[in-house]
Homo-oligomer: A and B are copies of this chain.
């Protein structure tokens, strides 16, 4: 660990989620969509206060109580579902207020754009001031986040991580392309660092909806690199993710 970062006693959930194949997102301001999250049977779900809500103080403020209530209702209805809530980045103006939407029954908190182990510790410390002791799913989606991927994931509060290709590319001043070679280095480094930290990593979002072939191709790349599963932004992506990531390495090797 880095100097100055003290070990924490954050506990992983009682029913741990070892290698999620699918993590399905819904906007935090849409109780109707949150309630439907279990229908596609994802391994985990995320109620989102970050990208799904406009970067506007009023919109963020309005979304928080909706997200909190929707989370509680969902957990009550689906007690075995791993329900996460995504807050805004720790250095954003929304982070502290977002914590009001968290409840101890969550499986964890998704924190986007983490850039260092110090960032992780700051999240943990802030959660504690609210009496919250939730494990984190760490978003690695900036240059610093990818560079420091190993130290971030080795923080004991981090239980899972994801790589965000769109934000990473934007941070570097680059452009996303169909082939994806512009993120192969970063995507590979996060997979390697995740292995060394002992943390399952979720692979990049596929933004092209209604295109099964593109999703399968991209998920196959993530699977080959060692990712445990996919961030999903549409319910139809969940079954595809289970199909790709549920297969054993031996099965996939045989098929090539």
Binding site for B on A (CB under 8 A): 19, 143-144, 146-147, 150, 169-178, 181-182, 184-186, 188-189, 191-192, 195-196, 220-221, 223-226, 228, 249, 252-253, 256
Chain B hits for A192, CB < 8 A: 143, 146-147, 172, 185-186
> Across the interface, do A169 and B224 meet the contact criterion of CB distance under 8 Å?
yes
Q: A172-B195, A252-B175 are in contact. Are A224 and B143 (CB under 8 A)?
A: no
Give the residue name and chain of the B residue nearest to A252 (CB): B175
Cα separation A150 to B28 with both chains bound (whole Å): 38
Give the residue name and chain of the B residue nearest to A195 (CB): B143
> Across the interface, do B147 and A182 meet the contact criterion of CB distance under 8 Å?
no
Q: A152 to chain B: closest CB distance in Å?
A: 15
> Across the interface, do A170 and B224 meet the contact criterion of CB distance under 8 Å?
no
Total identical chains: 3
Interface of A is mostly: helix
Q: A195-B171, A195-B173, A252-B175 are in contact. Are A181 and B143 (CB under 8 A)?
A: no
Chain B hits for A143, CB < 8 A: 192, 195-196
> Across the interface, do A226 and B178 meet the contact criterion of CB distance under 8 Å?
no
Q: A103 to chain B: closest CB distance in Å?
A: 32
> Across the interface, do B220 and A177 meet the contact criterion of CB distance under 8 Å?
yes
> Across the interface, do A225 and B182 meet the contact criterion of CB distance under 8 Å?
yes
Q: A96 to chain B: closest CB distance in Å?
A: 27
Chain B hits for A189, CB < 8 A: 185
Q: A226-B169, A226-B173, A253-B175 are in contact. Are A182 and B221 (CB under 8 A)?
A: yes
Cα separation A182 to B221 with both chains bound (whole Å): 7
- A–B complex contacts, Cβ < 8 Å, 7 sampled: A19-B173, A169-B224, A172-B191, A173-B195, A173-B228, A181-B224, A182-B226
> Across the interface, do B256 and A174 meet the contact criterion of CB distance under 8 Å?
no
Which 4 pairs of residues, A with B, have the shortest CB-CB distance?
Answer: A185-B188, A172-B226, A182-B224, A174-B226
Q: A154 to chain B: closest CB distance in Å?
A: 12
Q: A171-B195, A172-B195, A172-B226 are in contact. Are A221 and B146 (CB under 8 A)?
A: no
Beyond the given A176-B224, A177-B224, please list 15 additional residue pairs across the A-B interface where CB-CB is below 8 A.
A147-B150, A169-B224, A169-B226, A172-B192, A173-B226, A174-B226, A174-B249, A175-B224, A176-B256, A181-B221, A182-B221, A182-B225, A184-B188, A185-B188, A186-B188
